[in-house]
Amino acid sequence: MGRGIVYCATCGSKILDKDFESRAAFHLDGRGFCKDCAPGALKSLPPDKMAEVLARISEADSASKRKAAPPRPPAPAPGPATRRYAPQASRTPLIAGLAAAGVVIVVLLVVILSRSDPPPAPPPLPPTVADRPPKVDREALAVQALQKAREYRDAHPKDLATQLASFQRILDEHPGSRAAGEARRELEKTRRRGAEALDTELKALQEQARTTSGAEEFQKAIQSLADARGKHPEASWGQGIDTTIAEIRATAHKLYSALKEEAVARRRAGDVAGVQAAKDRVATWGLPDYVSGLEAALAAVPLSDKRPLFNGKDLSGWYVTRGKWGYKDGMPQPIELDENQRTFIATIEELKDFELEGWLEAPIKTYLEFNARGGDRTVAMHLEAGWHKFRVVAAGQDVKLFVDDKPAGLSGSTTPKGQFGIFSLGAIRLKDVTIRP
C-alpha cells in the first residue's frame, strides 16, 4: 500500500507518492517537504543529521543509476595473493568529509531545484485612466474650423475660391456634425455670391466690348474678350464670351457687306476717292479677311472712264454764290443758306460734250433749278423729299436732262458750252456726282 497523502511540513502543499518517486518532494528527518521548501529544511538540520540525510539521498541516487546501467561483464578471478591488514583508520576525517560533501550536495540540490520552470508571470494590471488616450471633442474641432472659415470670409470677401474650399473641407472632415450643417449653408451662400459676381463681371466686359465694337474697332473688341476667356473656369463665363464674340463678328460682317457693295458701285462710277475711303475704313477694323475680301471684290470690277467731280475733301472745281458749302457724312451739302434760304453751286469749268450724273437728296419737298449747260439751258421743278437721280447728256447743240430717268424739258440755246449748276430753295445733299469724259 502507498503512504497516502502527505503535506509539506513548511508550506502545507499536498504531496503524493509519485512526487517522492520523481524527486519533486523529499523525506527529511521523518517529515515531507516539497522541492521548493526542501533546501531550507535541509539547512536547518544539525551537521550529523544533514550528513545522514545526504547519505541516504546519495545511496538512493546510486541505486537508481545501477538499475538503469547495463550489466558489467564478470571480473576475472583473482589470483592468490597475500592478505594484508591495514591499520584501522580514524572516523573523524570521514565525518568531516561527509559534512563537506553535504554542503556540496546542498548547493547542487539548490541549483537543480532552481532549474525548474519559473512560476508564470502575473497578469498585467488593467490600464489606468492616465494610460488611456484623451477623448477628442470632434464637435468642438468642427466649430473651431467653421469659425476660422468665417473669419477668412470676412477678411477676404473677394477670395471666393478659398472660401469654398474651407467650407467644403469642414463637410469632408466633420460629417454629421452641427457645424457641418452650418458649413453647408455657408457653402451655398458663397456659391450664389460667386455666381452673382461672375455675372456682374461678365456684363461689364461685354458692355465694354460692345462700345469698342461700336467705334468699328472690331478686332480690339474681340481680342479683349478672348484674353479674358481663361480668367474663370465656369462654363457660363466661357459661353457668355463666345456669344459676345459671335455678336461682334455678325455686326462687322453686316457692315462689311454694305460697304463692299458701295465701294464696288463707286469703282464702277470712277469715284477713286470714294473707293479709297472704303478701303481705309475697312483697314481700321483689324480684320484681315475683310481687307483682302474687299480688294478682291474691287479688282473684279473694270475701271470706268468716269471721274468724280467732288474729291471728298474740299470744293476744288466748284464755286458757290449763295450760302456756304462743305462736307458732312462724306457728302457735299450747304452748311449755311443765305438770308432768303437759298443756295447755288456750279462747276468752275465750262463743259462742252459730256455725260454727267449723280444723286440729290431733298429733306422736304424742295424747289430746284438745274443749269444743264450754262444759264440758258435750265429747267425748274419741285422734288419730293428723298433721293433723286439726275443725268445730263450734252453733244453739240443737243442737251438733255433726265431726273429719275425721266426727261425734263430744257430752255433752248445756241451756246456750245457752259457750266453745270444747281439752285435750291432750301438745303439739299449731293453724292456720286461723276462726269465722262
- Mean pLDDT calculated for residue range 379-396: 94
Buried (b) or exposed (e) across 71-106, using 16+ Cβ within 10 A? Answer: eeeeeeeeeeeeeeeeeeeeeeeeeeebeeebeebb
What is the pLDDT, as a whole number, of residue 27?
A: 77
Lowest mean pLDDT among 120-134, 146-160, 195-209, 219-233: 120-134
Output 273 or 399, whichever has higher pLDDT: 399
Q: pLDDT band at residue 200, thresholds of 50, 70 and 90?
A: very high
Please tell me the predicted confidence (pLDDT) of residue 432: 92
**182 and 286 assigned to the same domain:** yes
Three-state SS at 340: coil
CB of 368 closer than 8 Å to CB of 423 = yes
Rounded-to-integer distance, Cα 170 and Cα 190, Å: 14
Q: C-alpha grid cell for residue 225? A: 474678350
Instruction: Give dist(CA 350, CA 372) in Å, integer.
Output: 11
Of 91 and 200, more confident: 200
Instruction: Please tell me the predicted confidence (pLDDT) of residue 318.
Output: 97
Last residue of a domain, one of 304, 330, 350: 304
Residue 268 sits in the same domain as residue 327:
no
Query: Radius of gyration over alpha carbons of the chain, in Å?
Result: 67
- Mean pLDDT calculated for residue range 208-234: 93
Does 224 have pLDDT greater than 90?
Answer: yes
Q: For residues 285 and 292, give the distance between their C-alpha atoms in angstroms, rounded to a whole number.
A: 12
**pTM score, two decimals?**
0.42
Q: What is the mean pLDDT of residues 273-287?
A: 92
**Together in a domain, 327 and 425:** yes
End-to-end CA distance of the chain: 165
Q: What is the pLDDT of residues 32-88, one digit of tens each?
A: 888 788 777 777 777 777 777 676 666 655 655 555 455 555 555 555 444 444 445
Residue 395 forms beta bridges with which residues? Answer: 398
**Can you give the residue range of the structural domain that contains 387?**
308-436
CB 382 within 8 A of CB 366: yes
Which three-class secondary structure state does DSSP give residue 65? helix
Using 50, 70 and 90 to split pLDDT, how confident is the model at 323?
very high
Q: What is the total count of domains within the chain?
A: 3
CA distance 158 to 259: 46
Q: Looking at the structure, tell me whether residues 203 and 314 fall in a common domain.
A: no
Q: Which residues contact 299 (CB under 8 A, 6 or more apart)?
A: none
In single-letter form, the type of residue at position 17 comes to: D
Same domain, 279 and 375: no
Q: Is the pLDDT of residue 237 over 50?
A: yes
Percent of the chain with pLDDT over 70: 80
Same-domain check for residues 314 and 326: yes
Asked if residue 372 and residue 287 are part of one domain, the reply reads: no
CA–CA gap between residue 278 and residue 175 (Å, rounded): 68
- Would residue 188 count as lying in a domain? yes
